[in-house]
Structure 1
Amino acid sequence: MKQFSALKRQTVLKSMESDVFDVLIIGGGITGAGIALDAVTRGLKVALVEMQDFASGTSSRSTKLVHGGLRYLKQFEVKEVAELGRERAIVYENGPHVTTPEWMLLPFHEGGTFGKMTTSLGLKVYDLLAGVKKSERRKMLTKEETLKRAPIIKKDGLLGGGLYVEYRTDDARLTIEVLKAAFAKGAVISNYAKADQFIYDENRKAVGAEVVDVLTEEQFSVKAKVIINASGPWVDSLRELDSSKMDKHLILSKGVHLVFDQSVFPLSQSIYFDTPDGRMVFAIPRDGKTYVGTTDTFYEGNPKEMTITEEDRHYILKSIHYMFPELRVLEEDIESSWAGVRPLIHEKGKGPSEISRKDEIWESDSGLITIAGGKLTGYRKMAQTVVDLAVRKLKEVEDGNFGPCITKKLPISGGDFGGSFKMRQFIKETVHQALQLGLNQKETAEIVKMYGTNARNVLSYVKHNGSALPDGLYARLMYAIHEEMAIKPADFFVRRTGKLLFDISTVLEWKGEVVSVMAETFKWTETEREKYSDELDQEIIIATIPQ
């Protein structure tokens, strides 16, 4: 089986230059990843380029939930709720190691957005529309039952609560696993490869792109019969390159999340609560931390240069104090944070929370296909729609033998359990085997849960550890380099493991040794080593120090 190795990246880029592809996808977030997997499994020859690291935009900066679409009930978008509910179940079944059912508590208070009847009815309708399995259907709680689950929530005016299931995910790892699955099926994929301009034929039809290797600054051409712009917040930039930006355009909504240690924010039950201004905010426990978000404000500017403002932090802290008045959580208690932008289709006169998250597809005169908007939950269905269009375009000019979409029942990388119900037994057996390597129970279980059926590949690197790194961390680093195309220390700590967000102490303790191991593995010059080390330090500053 081919390895998605960072050490073989130059070979991948050379193969892009020497071939003609059916489809070139620009963008390595969850949307582009889904399109690549769908297209390659139908028999299309696929290339994908991403100008930064995979999932470095919106796809690593979400609330990390595979939503079922509950919020759309307020906007009476019934079809959207039904489709997202179905897709959520598919995402879980195809990758249960990166998607976990999470009971969410929706408390209701006197004078709040939701009352007992509206909550009960809304959740019941949601269960029916979304096709929620019987074991995960909503439960209504009394005031006492609500406080038993979440004793630190606001007691004044509390009437009770509703329980329903969301699916918690690691958005970046979900994206990586989809990309790995596409690569294994034959897609040619690279990060740090920027589509700089389009190539046109004599009829001004887009037939390729000039691509710059961001690491070496070398430029090369990629030829393709169909080009798909799936670059998230940057789709309008590419449409401008194509001179095809029309009346409909993106508007960016900024979302901020703050992370606290459980010692200062002791939460064991995920909560979805309304704020005094009528918005809804999540508070979610994860790996000994609690993260809270999100804000929802219009953002203008370069998404790569976005920072978290004092106003952003104060808004979330105010929301926490409103719903958890007994907590004395202060700004200095923030352990880490992240900010991202959601690309929304502009709707005149509407605020960011009111704008639909529906996706739209546009095709320009040059033939460039652009997919914009949408949600992480719907990535597979969005991909199916886009690839359907690409196949129709290909069949207009050639007799392609392309198969149907098969991703509905196609496990992503690490999800080959033979059904989600078999995952628990797999974890039990693999943890038992892995303990023989000398790792402790906690770390072994964490690795097996995170990497699923790839866990044995990860653990195989333990025996080669000649560094000062702990065995488990070394194994993850080697796996990230050799099988997940991690190029830089920030790729590893932010998007391959999530440790910068949820385990900052490990990052601070071992960052120097990780840089040393990567420098030796990649044969970096001293200049390269300093550059990538400085980039990691900058990521740490952005995540941990108020701007």
Structure 2
Amino acid sequence: MSHPQTGAGDLVDLVIIGAGINGLAIARDAASRGLSVVVVDRGDVGAGTTATSSRLIHGGLKYLERYDFTLVHESIRERHLLFRTAPHLVHDYPMLIPFYSGDSRPGPLIRLGLAAFDVLAAGRGRRRSRGLSARTIARRWPHLSRRGLRGGVLFNDAQVPWAERLCVELLIDAERLGARVLTYTTVTGLLVTDGGVRGVRTRDNQSGREGEIRGRLTINAAGPWIDRILDGQVESGRLNGGTKGSHIIIDPFPGAPDTCIFFEAAADQRPIFIFPWEGRYVLGSTDLTYEGDLDEVVASDAEIDYLLTEANRLFPQAGLTPDDVLYSVAGIRPLPYTTGVADNAKISRGHTVLNHAPAYEGLLTIIGGKLTTHRALAEDATDEALKVLGRPRQRCTTRTRPLPGADTPDWYAFRADFPRSAVPFTPAQSARLLDIYGVRARRVLELALSDPALAEVVDERTGAVAAEVVMAFREERAVTLADVLLRRTLVGLGPDMAVSTAVTCADVAVRQLGWDTERADAEVAAYRAELRRFRPRGLNLAPATGTNDRRTS
């Protein structure tokens, strides 16, 4: 469905604040149902909470123990839909859940919960869970601690190794449907007149130019920052009670497993993961009450020690120390503000579409939400938007609409055929391009064939080529070098965070995109500055300190 182009002075149906996964999903859904949409974000798409997730598409197993069957059912359904609409990004992911004596959740209870989960997932699941004896686990995972091991279950869930690419593809599809996405544009205030919200005031981060975007309805989808958007303009109690989650990334270690292990931490009985990820391992996550600066969230030394201690307990041969941490990732979950909860895991992971009417007509705020259920959240938000706007209800098509990287009649046939046609690329390069771009790998190939310079490798570790840099800027709305490295090509998430690659990619931008050397140098410096929040090991960057969190009992 096409839309007229909207200019800065036009009145649009929806102004969406926030280009994380939820804001982009709403834009895509709303545009597909005929609404004119503008999305505004002060940074890049998916650069906030989305980029700090556990990269898992949960079927909702963890929510069974809270008897949240609605969220379990929704999560199972959305996982199933993502397997169909984004098969290049979302994959089957088996995980072992070992049972140990002393665990707060007895093995038989977990088995019962998994049996209930398999029933709920019937027809939408993958393989059913399978119980394993302690002897079988010791044989299959010989380096796992046997002390107190009582058995376990092999459970099948899903992973999205590159959550950042989910956001990029939502962006691309939303714009194909007519939405406009304005990144690096700060919302400086709401347009509040006559008891209603009529849009937003903005400032372009690069030019400093100020403006207004007028909308019939404004949706505050700023994740952990929703209260900041409302502060001083809309009378509202505190809405966001997000908790801090941190992960650490390490190289393979003695005894490292070849599957995800989902286990209970001895220190606080929190379920945590250790899983293989792109040749390395991710440990996470923590779940801490956080009252600090939302713009300065980094993993603390205490969190890193906690995760390493639990990993060493589970794998006695590992011997992991802080020196083994390549880098860390920390973010704030956009959870509803909840009082009187001693265990943060008990805070709802569901979402709410809050209508501020009648006090403030024309304003919705999105509370909560998670990676797995972003599409369902968007459907709910668009349904509410249509009702508020007095528009006829339109059928939602995103349940079956493939993301751009899966827009082909047969994804698996395309995946099998692409390496044969990708003449300039090695099999490893082709496999990587398919995993990141899906059928859009064909566009990288077209660019590489159009100019031999674009087939040149810019990152030796991954085999990424110059064409990806050019495509990121020209066709995927990258604005900065950091956007390219951390959220388009993903080479910045390697063990060395692509510090040297940044210079090579900046040189490509000089030759192919018209950058001058001053901009290239400034972009490299800005990229290095952005890496400080990851606390990368061995890089000459001043580490941030992360002290504004506390563990709840």
Alignment match of 1:173 (pick from 165, 171, 177): 165
Q: Flag the 1:40–1:428 CA change in 2: closer, same or farther, 3 A.
A: same
Separation (CA, whole Å) in 2 of partners of 1:509 and 1:228: 40
The alignment status of 1:297 with 2:288, answered yes or no, reads: yes
Partner of 1:368: 363
Q: Structure 1, residues 438-484: CA drift from partner, whole Å, max 9, x if none?
A: x2111111101221111101222223253764473312212211221
Partner of 1:8: none
The alignment status of 1:257 with 2:243, answered yes or no, reads: no
Q: How does 1:238-317 map to 2 (within 5 A)?
A: 238-246=229-237, 248-263=238-253, 266-276=256-266, 277-317=268-308
Partner of 2:396: 405
Q: Flag the 1:353–1:519 CA change in 2: closer, same or farther, 3 A.
A: farther
Moved over 6 A (4+): none
Partner of 2:551: none
Partner of 2:312: 321
Q: Structure 1, residues 224-267: CA drift from partner, whole Å, max 9, x if none?
A: 11110001011001111432322x42112111111111255633
More displaced 10-residue stretch of structure 1: 375-384 or 532-541? 532-541
Contact preservation (8 Å) 2:256, 2:315:
no
Taking only aligned residues, the RMSD between alpha carbons, in angstroms, comes to 2.2
Q: Flag the 1:33–1:266 CA change in 2: closer, same or farther, 3 A.
A: same
More helix by share: 1
Q: Flag the 1:226–1:520 CA change in 2: closer, same or farther, 3 A.
A: farther
Q: Any unmatched runs of 5+ in structure 1?
A: 3-11
Separation (CA, whole Å) in 1 of partners of 2:164 and 2:388: 31
Higher relative contact order (CA 8 A, sep 6+): 1
Q: How does 1:19-34 map to 2 (within 5 A)?
A: 19-34=10-25
Partner of 1:6: none
Partner of 1:146: 137
Separation (CA, whole Å) in 2 of partners of 1:181 and 1:88: 19
* SS of 2:373 mapped into structure 1: helix
* Identity fraction in percent: 28
* SS of 1:216 mapped into structure 2: coil
Separation (CA, whole Å) in 2 of partners of 1:520 and 1:318: 48
Partner of 1:9: none
Q: Structure 1, residues 117-139: CA drift from partner, whole Å, max 9, x if none?
A: 22221111111223464642111
More displaced 10-residue stretch of structure 1: 361-370 or 447-456? 361-370
Contact preservation (8 Å) 1:271, 1:282:
yes
Q: Flag the 1:299–1:514 CA change in 2: closer, same or farther, 3 A.
A: same
Q: Flag the 1:371–1:508 CA change in 2: closer, same or farther, 3 A.
A: same
Alignment match of 1:466 (pick from 432, 442, 453): 453
Alignment match of 1:76 (pick from 43, 67, 79): 67
Partner of 1:119: 110
Please report how far the alpha carbon of residue 521 of structure 1 lies from its aligned counterpart in structure 2 after TM superposition: 4.7
Instruction: Please give the TM-score of this superposition, normalised by the length of structure 1.
Output: 0.91
The amino acid of 2:271's aligned partner reads: M
The amino acid of 1:164's aligned partner reads: F
More displaced 10-residue stretch of structure 1: 252-261 or 299-308? 299-308
* SS of 1:89 mapped into structure 2: helix
Please report how far the alpha carbon of residue 104 of structure 1 lies from its aligned counterpart in structure 2 after TM superposition: 0.9
The amino acid of 1:215's aligned partner reads: Q
Separation (CA, whole Å) in 2 of partners of 1:401 and 1:251: 35
Alignment match of 1:186 (pick from 178, 190, 199): 178
Alignment match of 1:452 (pick from 438, 452, 467): 438
The alignment status of 1:380 with 2:375, answered yes or no, reads: yes
Partner of 1:196: 188
Partner of 2:547: none
The alignment status of 1:496 with 2:496, answered yes or no, reads: no
Separation (CA, whole Å) in 2 of partners of 1:298 and 1:260: 25
Alignment match of 2:210 (pick from 215, 219, 236): 219
Separation (CA, whole Å) in 1 of partners of 2:127 and 2:532: 40
Please report how far the alpha carbon of residue 527 of structure 1 lies from its aligned counterpart in structure 2 after TM superposition: 4.8
The amino acid of 1:255's aligned partner reads: G
Please report how far the alpha carbon of residue 345 of structure 1 lies from its aligned counterpart in structure 2 after TM superposition: 0.9
Q: Flag the 1:46–1:241 CA change in 2: closer, same or farther, 3 A.
A: farther
Partner of 1:443: 429
Separation (CA, whole Å) in 1 of partners of 2:255 and 2:13: 51
Please report how far the alpha carbon of residue 499 of structure 1 lies from its aligned counterpart in structure 2 after TM superposition: 2.6
Separation (CA, whole Å) in 1 of partners of 2:141 and 2:484: 34
Q: Flag the 1:231–1:134 CA change in 2: closer, same or farther, 3 A.
A: closer
* SS of 2:320 mapped into structure 1: coil
Partner of 1:483: 475
Q: Structure 1, residues 418-445: CA drift from partner, whole Å, max 9, x if none?
A: 3xxx4332211011111x12x2111111
